[in-house]
Amino acid sequence: MWSKTVNVTLRTRIRVGYELGYYNVSIESDIAYLGFDEAYSFNGTNKLKNVKNTIFFNGLKGLEFLLAEKNGATPDDPRIPGKQQYEISFTKKNTPNITVREGDGFTLKVYFNGEECLLPDSVSFATLEYPAGTLNPPHIHPRAAELLIVIDGVLEVGFIDTTGKLYSQKFEFLDMFVFPKGLVHYKYNPSFDTPSMAVSAFGSANTGTVSVPSTVFSTGIDDNILAKGFKTDVPTIEKIKKGLGA
């Protein structure tokens, strides 16, 4: 069973620690909120009516306090924020399509007593394995650029810029390629018998991934509209959808 534990840390710049009493925290995410399982040191729920993508928490009695900031290791060091940390667990049983390495499930917004909190900048990494002849279909990452490094085998990669120009290249061991944020790109292993592997680094922990084929053909757009848009006929659209399992 897939599971994930998330730490929630409240950092403060107050000079003296104090009890807040019945403070509340809410976390807005994407599909991960459906997999919310349990909160430790919180009362938590994602079952509120007419509220989507958000998990709400209240501090338990005896734990609803904030710690004061403290001095650094030396007088010249900056003061260290006070912090109070809690854990939230998720399971995949209610989010079968979540893909953490693609950025699904990362926090979008955090509110403390109704005030939106500042989220830290972050990065993420993914190890990508490509069996012989496999393709990572055209897709975009709307919130981050991607740096790809090939560490085994060969990959053909490419992206399309805003003028419709294709930039493509075949890469081998330790070759690198940058996919700009928000542009359509793909990766393909052209070998018939040799797998390949790459590492991708992203400028955000919440990159987001929009697959072009599944977004266009698997989201309920009318077949006649797709046929007109692609200048083909409905039977061809139906064949493409069948191939994608839509």
**Binding-site residues for oxalate:** 136, 141, 146
Q: Taking the mean position of all CA atoms in its chain, how far away is CA 207? A: 5
Sign of the dihedral through C-alpha 24, 27, 31, 32: negative
Which positions make up the binding site for Mn(2+)? 139, 141, 146, 185
SS3 per residue for 3-30: EEEEEEEEEECCCCCEECCCCEEEEECC
CA 145 from centre of chain: 13
Gap between the Cα atoms of 76 and 184, Å rounded: 48
How far are the Cα atoms of 136, 146, 150, 180, 188 from residue 170, in angstroms, in the given order?
15, 17, 10, 18, 9
The annotation places the binding site at: 136, 139, 141, 146, 185
Amino acid at 167: Y
Residue 152 and residue 195 in contact, taking contact as beta carbons nearer than 8 Å: yes
Tokens of 14: 């107050």
Under 8 Å between Cβ of 123 and 201: yes
